[in-house]
Each structure stands twice: as structure tokens, then as C-alpha cells.
Amino acid sequence: MRPLRGTVATSLALVGFALAIIVAAPAGPADVASEMEPRPLPRTAPDPGENPATPDKVALGRLLFFDPVLSSSRDVSCATCHDPRHGWADSRSTPIGVGGSGAGPGRVFTGADPGPLLPRNTPTLLDVGFNGLVSGAGPDPSKAPMFWDSRVAGLERQVPVPLRTPGEMCAGPCDGDDAMDGAVRRVRAIPGYREKFRAAFGGSDAEAVDATRLTRAIAAFERSLVAPPTPVDRFLAGDTAALDAAQRQGLRAFRDAGCIHCHGGPMFSDFKPHAVDVNGASGSRSGPRAFRTPSLRNLRHTAPYMHDGRLRTLRDVLVFYDDLAEAVSETSDGGVAAGHVPLDPLLARLRLSPDDFPVLEAFLDSLSTDAFDRTIPASVPSGLPVLGAR
């Protein structure tokens, strides 16, 4: 869909040049694994072979994504939580699904029973098609890690989860297959959808809508949510003027501080689980839980931060790491701990100075752009309010 092959070739050719600049920058950790070097993001997310993107499929996926008909209560869409006006997330610590009304931070419970709480922060879907991409080729898209704990593989397999999760898009008893069957039945009853499914996938009117096609259309749409190149992408592609002095200094500080051991590569994530959470709600007697390193792209639009959304600003995050660096000590058995809490050994390499906070913030901000796709359809085929907002 995007005729940008030339750009990819050019940026690949220039990566070596940009890497030379970074490597030549004074004093970074000498032992950064080469796949953790920062890289510009490719311009298109790879499709799994069985689900190539087509314009009709992506357009259908967008309508489904914004249509509350997918929820059993018909008032929550995927976009209730993944809202383009909030960076394809919701600007909340943790979301409110069924039983709520309003959008973003203003959303409140209005139902009789607040229902089960959803414990995790909503991740953005911008650039989600690159989940798992650390170096070069990247993973088979059908195996891309999804969720804070990477418990689901691939966008197609992720789609049914919110439909059957109590409190998310399912009110009442939420049996997995029933939730998807119910959504398919509601969509199939709408002539406008049958027509669009036939245009995207072919087949007769009777068999136009099924669960596989519904998940494929939504996943293809999600892969289209690629943020345009950020200043860091342009810098890494050879445009040395794309970052100002503070941002370049911030990039050096980011390497020197050791952030890059986990937040490297094109997505600024190794997509591996790490326990960095000392005080978090997830702490248990066996120690903190490990969560997947989140990407550092698009942070300007996705506050609050961390798996439970408890840190409000990037400054709060930097203070968190600074405290952590101070608290971390090597234990006699070769582990790393803060107090009695076992932590990821890579945290022993953190070297952070509060003097660097302003330039680190400047650098992190240059991994975002405001020019991303924020298109909200004017209407959806169910005729329900778009997004489910009331």
C-alpha cells in the first residue's frame, strides 16, 4: 500500500553510516550487543503469509475496530481503549471496558456492578505490527509477542482475547467460543458487513462472515498503524540535523546509562521479560514479576507508564530508574537484588545521573511524531455510536 521500497533501501544503506556516528560517540558501554544498536523502523509491518493486507481488508478491519457491536453489551469497541485521540491507547493507568461510559481519562463506571478490574495499562497499537522485531529479519508475524507478559503470539490470535475477557468487551458469563460466536452472529446479521467481507475475502453471502476472517481483517488493520519516521529514525538514516544537540546528548546518555541493554534495536525493546519492578503492585513473596520490555516509541502520546500505569510522566520513570540504580546491589550468589527482592542482572549496569534527565527526556521525545493516522470512521455498519462513546 505504501510505495516506499526506495526509502527502505536508502535507509538501510544509511544505517551503517549512522551507526558509525553513534559508535564514534564518546564513551558508551563497550559491550552493547550488536542487535541492540538503535535502528530506524522499516516503513511497512510484515504480514503473515496467510493474511496479506489489501485495501479492502484494512478498511473493513478499521470499521470492525471502531464498532461496539463486537462487545456483548454493544457499547465497547476496541477503540474505547485503543483510541487514536489518545495515541491508540487511553491515557489511563488501567482501562474501563463494559459497564463504563465516556472516553479516555474521563471514562467512569456507570453500571450497577463495577465488575472485574482490568489490572494492566493499555499499550498503544501504533507500530504494534513490529512487535518482536529486534534485529534484521524479525520474527514470523504469526509469532509476534503480544501483551505485557507476551502470553499470546501474533495479532490474529490476540483479537479473540478482549472479546471473551470479563470486564473488557464481555459482560456476563464469558465463555471463549461463545463470545466470538456471538460477535460473529451480530456482525453477520448486518448486510453492510456481509458485503464488505465479500469484497475483502470473496465467497457467497451466506459464508461471508466467520471468526477467522473477522480476526484477519482486524489484524491487517492493526498492521497498518505505522507511525511516520520520527526524528530518531531520520537521524539513524543519516540526517544528522534531525536531532538537536540536547537530543544527541540524550542518545549518548541513554547508551551510557545502560538503558540500551534492554531498550535497543528498531523498537527500542529486546521483547524479553525482565524483572525491574521493585515497588509495583505485582510484587509477591517470590519477587517481582517479569514483564516484556516495552517499546520506547510513541511515549509522547502514551502516558501513564509501566505495566500498571502507575508512573505519570517520563520524569517519574527516570526517577524510578535512578532510585533503582541506587538500591540495586550484587548478592553473594551472583544475583542482583534491591533489599530482598531479586531483580534482572542487567540492572546492575545502570549508570544514571539526574543531571542527564533533561537530555534523556529530549531524546525519548524524539522517538515520537504527531503525524500518525488518527482516522476515526464517520459511521460504522451497525449504526451504533462509533467507538461506543456515549
Residues that bind ligand HEC (CB under 6 A): 70, 76, 78, 80-82, 95, 97, 118, 120, 122-123, 125, 128, 131, 146-148, 155, 158-159, 162-163, 168-169, 218, 222, 257-259, 261-263, 274, 276-277, 280, 291, 293-294, 296, 299, 302, 305-307, 314, 317, 321, 344, 346-347, 350, 352, 360
| Nearest to ligand HEC of 133, 159 (CB atom) | 159
**Minimum separation from the CB atom of position 259 to ligand HEC (A):** 3
| Nearest to ligand HEC of 196, 261 (CB atom) | 261
In sequence order, which residues have a C-beta less than 8 Å from that of residue 48 and are 6 or more positions away? 140, 141, 142, 154, 156
CA distances from 249 to 13, 19, 211, 355 (A): 24, 15, 49, 12
**Minimum separation from the CB atom of position 13 to ligand HEC (A):** 29
In sequence order, which residues have a C-beta less than 8 Å from that of residue 369 and are 6 or more positions away? 227, 228, 229, 230, 231
| Nearest to ligand HEC of 200, 360 (CB atom) | 360
Rounded to whole angstroms, the Cα distance separating 293 from 252 reads 20
In sequence order, which residues have a C-beta less than 8 Å from that of residue 316 and are 6 or more positions away? 305
**Minimum separation from the CB atom of position 74 to ligand HEC (A):** 13
**Minimum separation from the CB atom of position 155 to ligand HEC (A):** 6
Cell of 338: 534491591
| Nearest to ligand HEC of 99, 229 (CB atom) | 99
**Minimum separation from the CB atom of position 44 to ligand HEC (A):** 17
Cell of 257: 546509562
Query: Long-range CB contacts (< 8 A, 24+ apart) of 309-315?
Result: 309/92, 309/93, 309/94, 309/120, 309/121, 310/93, 310/280, 310/281, 314/360, 314/361, 314/364, 314/365, 315/357, 315/361
| Nearest to ligand HEC of 11, 221 (CB atom) | 221
| Nearest to ligand HEC of 229, 304 (CB atom) | 304
**Minimum separation from the CB atom of position 199 to ligand HEC (A):** 21
Other beta carbons less than 10 A from residue 127's beta carbon = 21
Rounded to whole angstroms, the Cα distance separating 320 from 311 reads 9
**Minimum separation from the CB atom of position 276 to ligand HEC (A):** 5
CA distances from 383 to 79, 147, 171, 375, 388 (A): 16, 31, 21, 18, 11
**Minimum separation from the CB atom of position 3 to ligand HEC (A):** 26
| Nearest to ligand HEC of 98, 236 (CB atom) | 98
| Nearest to ligand HEC of 171, 299 (CB atom) | 299
Buried b (16+ CB within 10 A) or exposed e, 327-356: ebeeeeeeebbbeebebbebbebbebeeeb
| Nearest to ligand HEC of 15, 253 (CB atom) | 253
Question: Is the bond leading into 304 cis (omega within 30 degrees of zero)?
Answer: yes
Q: At 295, which amino acid appears? A: S
**Minimum separation from the CB atom of position 9 to ligand HEC (A):** 28
